[in-house]
Amino acid sequence: MLEIDLHKRLRDFDLDAKFQTEDGEILMLVGDNGCGKTTILNMIAGLLCPDSGEISLGGETLFSSDFNVNLSPEDRNVGYVFQNYALFPHMSVYDNVAFGLKARKHSKEEIGRRVEDQLKAAGLWEMRETKVIDISGGQKQRTALARALVIKPSLLLLDEPLSALDTRMQVLMRKELKEQILQCGVPSIIVTHNIRDVDALGDRLCFLDSGKIVFDGEAKEAIYEDILFKES
């Protein structure tokens, strides 16, 4: 389970985020541009330091201003799919997916086995030698997800994972994404602007407005009550 209670002073407003996510639950983080969604993901991943608060994951404290704890990103075991995927352009599909395991000094045999399993599950095995700059948007999305999942993360963060795809590909990828996340069985947070993403993927929804969570409830309830389009 992920529990966060964070405060950070941003340029235009104070960001206050307090929520928890159960194992296997998909939390959709929704809000206008610049309201602090990606900042929350970055703070959870350890890429940004909150001013105060606490983050704990599966009982382990990742950040605590009271106890002066701040684990570095490489020690948090968080799988992060960035908005533009951030695939390493000089590497092949295989090397991108294997990167995390190599950095964690796993044995060659284990790396080979786990990467093969992950690539086959994602339907990318045939193009494992292809450079990532030569693959399509959908394949990039799959590679980024495979790279985040192969490290067996304790938490999955996805920043607008479908926004770079065309509408048809978004429809195809939503189902695939949901299946892969459910198989993973860890808490997941997805940042999105798209109500279809919320409908297809989300269990819960947090609606963020200028750094404050103004709605925290079931995704279906949010859609039913039209939370996303209400005047704040």
Task: Select 28 or 151, whichever has its Cβ closest to other proteins.
Answer: 151
What residues line the site for other proteins (CB under 8 A)?
A: 42, 45-47, 72-74, 76-80, 82, 84, 86, 88-90, 99-100, 102-104, 133, 147-148, 151
- Cβ at position 73, least distance to other proteins in Å: 4
In this structure, the chain runs to a length of 232
Residue 16 CA from chain centroid, whole number = 19
Task: Select 30 or 81, whichever has its Cβ closest to other proteins.
Answer: 81
For the four alpha carbons of 118, 88, 32 and 37, in that order, the dihedral sign comes to: positive
- Cβ at position 81, least distance to other proteins in Å: 9
- Cβ at position 134, least distance to other proteins in Å: 10
Distance CA 35, CA 39 (A): 9
- Cβ at position 78, least distance to other proteins in Å: 6
Give the DSSP H/E element, type plus range, for residue 183.
Answer: helix 167-184
Task: Select 103 or 171, whichever has its Cβ closest to other proteins.
Answer: 103
Distance CA 41, CA 46 (A): 9
